[in-house]
Amino acid sequence: MEIQLQELIEQIKKDGVEAAETQAEAILKSATDEAEKIISDAKALADKIMSEAKTENERIVKSSEDAIRQAGRNLLISFRESVTKELNAIVGENVSSVYSSDALSQLIIKAVEGWAAKPDAEEITVILGSEELKNLETIIQDELKAKMLTGVTLKANDNFDGGFRIAVNGDGVYYDYSQEAVTDMLSNYLSPKITALLKEAE
């Protein structure tokens, strides 16, 4: 009986130890699985944060580069506009200077000579501001006579500032050599050249 009791005690101990070991292994496996999941989740979260940070960094860098490029374009456009404005002012001043000098009468004579050389130009009318006509009429008429240019009429018109206009054969169409028209023409001619020079400097 004593032997059976001893065997029973040993069996209970053995079963208890095995049960405890099994439970310990289950707890350890569960803890290991949970730790691995926590590590995996943490790594996934870290990768996500890194990816989002990289994307945001790339966006900021691109946005900054775009802003710098736009600022450069704006600066260049502003500079070109400034140069064009200055060019127009210089051209306008020079045209105004020429048109307010004795050279205006010679310009008119040269223009009349050019039109008179055309076979279909029978009547040529030179239109000037009344003040210019008053100051230059005698000089122009003397030059026209000296050059044997006939069929030329001088008329006053104050609808434009400086310079002159020429009408041929009274067809209602005139060729504009006014200060404003010549300034625009010269500025339009020079602007592409200035723009090309600025592009070469980029």
Give the CATH number of domain 103-201.
3.30.2320.30
Give pLDDT, residue 194. Answer: 66
Give me the chain's average pLDDT, please: 76
For residue 178, give both structure tokens. 């006014």
The torsion region of residue 124 among left (phi > 0), alpha (psi -120 to 50) and beta comes to beta
Cut 0.95: pTM above it: no
- pLDDT at position 87 is 62
Residues 6+ away with beta carbon under 8 Å from 151? 116, 122, 123, 124
Domains of the chain, by residue range, sit at 103-201
Classify 158 as helix, strand or coil. Answer: coil
pLDDT digits (tens, 9 = 90+) for 112-153: 888 888 877 778 888 888 888 888 888 888 888 888 888 888
Please give the torsion angle defined by the CA atoms of residues 187, 189, 192 and 193, in that order, rounded to the nearest 10 degrees: -100
